[in-house]
């Protein structure tokens, strides 16, 4: 673009305009501002349109050669008529689908789970601390569609955004003390109580 072009329309914008429509313009400069540098020299000239050529314009973009097309103005009433006719045609050939047929979108139940409340559901008050691996096994039993395949480390990562840190928890297994990462139920309950404004988030 020329310096004058760049002042009227910055190149950062014009370079990303992949589809361009140009109605009648008065000169080469205006022509090239819309249709691209040297368009006029290549014979793409919107200056040739007469004032009576209502809606007739050059279209350039999407990798196609420049071509002359006609646009049609449709007000709200005309647009409604077009939409009604288009629907009737689609009904006739059976291509309507989704909302147009009154169908409701499928609900993604996996996106509505509450991890913290699910933990409170599977870890009783009588169990103040629990290993992550134990918790994820119970969570999978509760909601297999959500927690299936979760590893202990995944639970640790999922708790971090809530500010809940896992800790080393010792358990005696076959006479030996085994330490593994786990969570403190009270930490989870406190976050739920603060979040929900319920001081008894048992």
DSSP track, 29-70? HHHHHHH-TTTTTTT--GGG--TT-TTEEEEEETTEEEEEEE
The tally of CA atoms less than 13 A away on the side-chain side of residue 100 is: 11
pLDDT in tens, 77-121: 999 999 999 999 998 998 888 777 777 766 555 557 899 999 999
- Going by pLDDT thresholds of 50, 70 and 90, the confidence category of residue 3 is very low
Taking every pair of Cα atoms in the chain, the longest distance, rounded to a whole number of angstroms, is 97
**Mean pLDDT along residues 61-83:** 87
pLDDT of residue 164: 94
Residue 41 has pLDDT above 60, yes or no: yes
Predicted pLDDT at 94: 87
Residue 74 has pLDDT above 50, yes or no: yes
The three-state secondary structure class of 26 is coil
Tens digits of per-residue pLDDT, 6-30? 566 677 777 777 788 999 999 999 9
CA distances from residue 194 to 117, 135, 162, 188 in whole angstroms, order as listed: 13, 22, 11, 10
> What backbone torsions phi and psi does residue 190 show, to the nearest 5 degrees?
-65, -40
DSSP H or E run through 196: helix 185-196
Q: Which of 188, 171, 190 is nearest to 180 (CA)?
A: 171
Please write the tens of the pLDDT for every residue from 119-171. Answer: 999 999 999 999 999 999 999 999 999 999 999 999 999 999 999 999 999 98
What average pLDDT does the structure give for the chain?
Answer: 86
Residue 178 has pLDDT above 50, yes or no: yes
Which three-class secondary structure state does DSSP give residue 198?
coil
Q: Where in the chain is the domain with CATH 1.10.10?
A: 109-195
**For domain 109-195, which CATH number applies: 1.10.490, 1.10.10, 1.10.287, 2.30.30?**
1.10.10
């Amino acid at each position: 673009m020329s310096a004058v072009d760049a002042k009227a329309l910055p190149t950062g914008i014009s370079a990303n305009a992949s589809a361009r429509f140009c109605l009648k313009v008065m000169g080469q400069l205006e022509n090239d501002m819309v249709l691209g540098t040297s368009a006029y020299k290549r014979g793409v000239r919107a200056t040739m349109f007469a004032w009576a050529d209502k809606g007739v314009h050059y279209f350039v973009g999407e990798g196609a050669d420049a071509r002359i097309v006609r646009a049609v103005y449709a007000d709200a009433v005309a647009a409604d008529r077009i939409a009604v006719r288009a629907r009737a045609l689609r009904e006739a050939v059976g291509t309507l689908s989704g909302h147009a047929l009154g169908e409701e979108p499928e609900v993604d139940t996996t996106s509505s789970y509450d991890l913290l409340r699910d933990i409170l559901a599977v870890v009783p008050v009588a169990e103040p601390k629990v290993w992550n691996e134990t918790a994820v096994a119970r969570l999978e039993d509760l909601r297999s569609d959500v927690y299936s395949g979760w590893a202990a480390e995944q639970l640790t990562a999922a708790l971090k955004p809530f500010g809940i840190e896992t800790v080393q928890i010792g358990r005696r297994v076959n006479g030996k003390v085994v330490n593994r990462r786990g969570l403190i139920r009270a930490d989870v309950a406190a976050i739920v109580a603060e979040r929900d404004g319920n001081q008894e988030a048992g």
